[in-house]
Amino acid sequence: MSKHPKPPRHDNLFATPQQRSDFVFDDKVADVFSDMINRSVPGYATILSMIGVLAARYHQPGTRIYDLGCSLGGASLAMAHQIGHDDFELHAIDNSPAMIRRLVKILDEPGHRGLPIQTHCDDICDIEIHDASVVVLNFTLQFVAPQRRTELIQRIAQGLKPGGILILSEKIMLPDAQLNALFIDLYHEFKQIQGYSALEVAQKRAALENVLIPESIETHITRLREAGLHSCDVWFQCFNFCSMVAVR
């Protein structure tokens, strides 16, 4: 009898009052992450799907693909399934052992088994990037310490081959304070529509406050261009979440 993947567990990590602490990508989060991310990021499924489409268009045969901060491998799987050949190395990297353990199991499920995806439990700020035609930071850079972001983007740009792309998805901060406040309010309404209570929204926001540090689109694009990525723009945005593409 064939095995079927288990449905994602429901995210209720912040459903009861708890002592405030910083958000950590541990076993508890990894267990519910698929449900959490899909209910917490507007348009997440569309972003994953189009990452696959962009990778299929820009991947150069014989080169590498990097999914930096891969979590459960959503972007990696989208790219591996969308690219119409197997002449590539896809490196899925995350510093959370809990995430990598679960991704290894996912890659052994029917439908994913045999994909050319290599998993690595490592700090993305320490790895070497080379011979890359596609690099993905899908809601990852926002968790990197701000003082390390420029160096990371520069190393990615240096490791990209001419014509290669970086796909960067981020929670953003708008420079207009009124619009920024509006988008945050609309986002919180979105989460409650997804079934999260006001308590869950408030407690998760507090847990992420010192961990997820957003920046403006202008800051991101300036950093990308200064690193040598000449064509940069937003291809998706909903409220205070967006995804950008930059070409070397």
Spatial contact of 189 and 209, defined as CB atoms under 8 Å apart: no
pLDDT at residue number 1 = 36
Query: CA-to-CA distance for 34 and 237, rounded, in angstroms?
Result: 21
Which tokens go with 238? Answer: 């909903």
pLDDT at residue number 86 = 86
pLDDT at residue number 230 = 86
pTM of the model: 0.95
Spatial contact of 240 and 172, defined as CB atoms under 8 Å apart: yes
pLDDT at residue number 20 = 87
Per-domain residue ranges for the chain?
Answer: 27-164+212-247
Burial degree of 178 (CB within 10 A; 0-12, 13-18, 19+): exposed
Which parts of the chain register pLDDT below 50?
1-3
pLDDT at residue number 7 = 64
Please state which of the four CATH numbers 3.40.50.150, 3.40.50.12780, 1.20.58.110, 2.40.30.10 is assigned to the domain occupying 27-164+212-247. 3.40.50.150
